[in-house]
Amino acid sequence: MYLGLFISPFVLVFAISVFFLVHSWLPRIASETSTTRVVSDLPLSGDLQMLSGRALIDALKPALEKADVPGEVGFVRHMVKEEKLIIPVTIPGRDTTVSISIASREATIVTRETGLAAALVTLHKSPGQHGPDIRMNWFYMRAWRWMADATVYLILFISVSGIYLWYVLRAERSVGLILLFAGALSFFGMAYALIH
């Protein structure tokens, strides 16, 4: 029961965000705000243009710290001609785009406060299946993955213990079996129709 109580807020986060993801819709409780600022004299390493993936993100960390942009760094776009790096940085509920001009060592930082619903969606999709070599480059997102994993393991454990608790209740066995069978039929029927 205590394990269930502990993970219940996490289950709510995953369940509520499903509605936003399935319907590609985000409620706008407060209006999105956006701010732009410029930071100069960034500490950029000389071999920045030769790097990619996790090495590039690690090399950019001092510059992002100087620019005071914490968060999970996404796919960095390198615009070779313009000698620019476009770096998306995410904190649940806040998207920041840092455009670094390598030549002038200057960054233009655009910060968008996207709100609670967007934060739930970000958390639901984190870390995600793409770019495993660059993901989880911020401690808090690594911690979120641990929590998300723990939520899954506890859900599996609680569901198995729930089955046992139901099974020992003789009066509920027949109704429960009917519902279990109906659920299995719906699930496997739908999955079969989708796959074949």
Partner 1 sequence: MPSSTEPIGPGQSPNVPRFRARFERWNRKLHFYAGLFLLFFIWLFAFSGLLLNHPTWTFAEFWTSREETNYQRDITVPSADVKGDLAQAHDILKQLKIEGEIMWTTTRTDPNQFDFQVRRPGHFFFIKADLAQKHVTVRQAEVNQWGVIKALHTFTGVQMDDPRNSRDWALTSLWAFSMDAVAAGLILMVLSSLCMWFDLPQKRVPGAVVLALGSLICGLFCVGLRWLF
Nearer to partner 1, 105 or 166 (CB): 166
Among 12, 38, 79, 103, binds partner 1 (CB under 8 A): 12
Cα 72 from chain centroid? 9
Phi, psi for residue 75 in degrees, rounded to 5: -70, 125
Q: CA–CA separation, 123 vs 121, rounded Å?
A: 5
Report if residue 193 touches partner 1, rule: CB under 8 A.
yes
Helix (H) or strand (E) holding 118: helix 116-125
Q: Are 8 and 16 in contact (CB under 8 A)?
A: no
**Secondary structure of 135-188 in HEC code, one letter for each residue:** CCCCHHHHHHHHHHHHHHHHHHHHHHHHHHHHHCCHHHHHHHHHHHHHHHHHHH
Report if residue 13 touches partner 1, rule: CB under 8 A.
yes
Q: Could you tell me the smallest distance in angstroms from the CB atom of residue 165 to partner 1?
A: 8
Q: Could you tell me the smallest distance in angstroms from the CB atom of residue 52 to partner 1?
A: 18
User: Which structure tokens are listed for 70?
Assistant: 């914490």
- b vs e for 184-195, b when ≥16 Cβ sit within 10 Å of the residue's Cβ? eeeeeeeeeeee
Q: Which of residues 111-140 bind partner 1 (CB under 8 A)?
A: 113, 116, 119-121, 123, 127-130, 132, 140
Report if residue 184 touches partner 1, rule: CB under 8 A.
yes
Among 74, 92, 100, 134, binds partner 1 (CB under 8 A): 92
Report if residue 179 touches partner 1, rule: CB under 8 A.
yes
Fill in the per-residue mask, 47 to 86: x = in contact with partner 1 (CB under 8 A), - = not in contact.
-----------------------xx---------------
Fill in the per-residue mask, 143 to 172: x = in contact with partner 1 (CB under 8 A), - = not in contact.
xxx-xxx--xx-xx--x--xx--x--xxxx
Among 7, 73, 107, 134, binds partner 1 (CB under 8 A): 7
